[in-house]
Amino acid sequence: MSLPDKAFPVSWDQFHRDARALAWRLAGLGQEFRAIVCITRGGLVPAAIISRELNIRLIETVCVASYHDYVNQGEMNLLKGITAELMVNGGEGVLVVDDLTDTGKTALEVRQMMPKAHFACVYAKPKGVPTIDTFVTEVSQDTWIYFPWDMGFTYQEPIAKGSKG
């Protein structure tokens, strides 16, 4: 697996802060959401945080696989759909949550199922931004975000090669 040039490691603390910041943005919309649909697996953690902050008790998952080797985005594979009751009226009043929108392909796949839902991500890349409604932090398209659930505690190489500790 070749690593990208730009790495953006996110700690548990930082992710929690960023997910809460997303909840603040969503609360500021003045819209009351009747349910959350989280896109698994990445949407599970922010959905838990946002559901607490916005007091949303009904949480559903939609299971879409796109990164089959953690580097290259593969074909969309719908593993589990959304319950019919949440898709009523195009998903109006439903909040769809994911950790990241990269190319926007996953969001577009789910938006076809729920065109009136509100789509929110913690992080966004430029190609994915047009496919969602609310996000907190934008990173460049060539940046790979390392989420805390994908990392262990190991030494990190300095950004400038050849630096001595």
Catalytic residues: 98-99, 102
Which residues form the domain of 62? 7-149
Give 86's DSSP letter: H
Beta-carbon contacts of 116 under 8 Å, excluding residues fewer than 6 positions away, are 89, 90, 91, 92, 94
Given a cut of 70, is residue 164 above it in pLDDT?
no
CATH number of the CATH domain containing 99:
3.40.50.2020
Residue 27 belongs to some domain of the structure: yes
Give the pTM: 0.86
* Ranges of H-type helices in 28-128: 44-54, 84-87, 105-113
Q: pLDDT tier at 65 (50, 70, 90 boundaries)? A: confident
Residue 30 belongs to some domain of the structure: yes
Which residues fall in the annotated binding site? 41-42, 98-106, 144-145
Q: What is the mean pLDDT of residues 92-120?
A: 96
Residue 90 belongs to some domain of the structure: yes
Residue 2 belongs to some domain of the structure: no
pLDDT in tens, 76-104: 788 999 999 999 999 999 999 999 999 99
Residue 155 belongs to some domain of the structure: no
How many distinct structural domains can be found in the chain? 1
Q: pLDDT tier at 75 (50, 70, 90 boundaries)? A: confident
Which residues fall in the annotated binding site for Mg(2+)? 99
Which residues fall in the annotated binding site for GMP? 102-106, 144-145
Q: What is the mean pLDDT of residues 59-85?
A: 79
Residue 156 belongs to some domain of the structure: no
CA separation for the pair 10, 7 (Å, rounded): 10
pLDDT of residue 53: 97
More confident of the two residues 119 and 161? 119
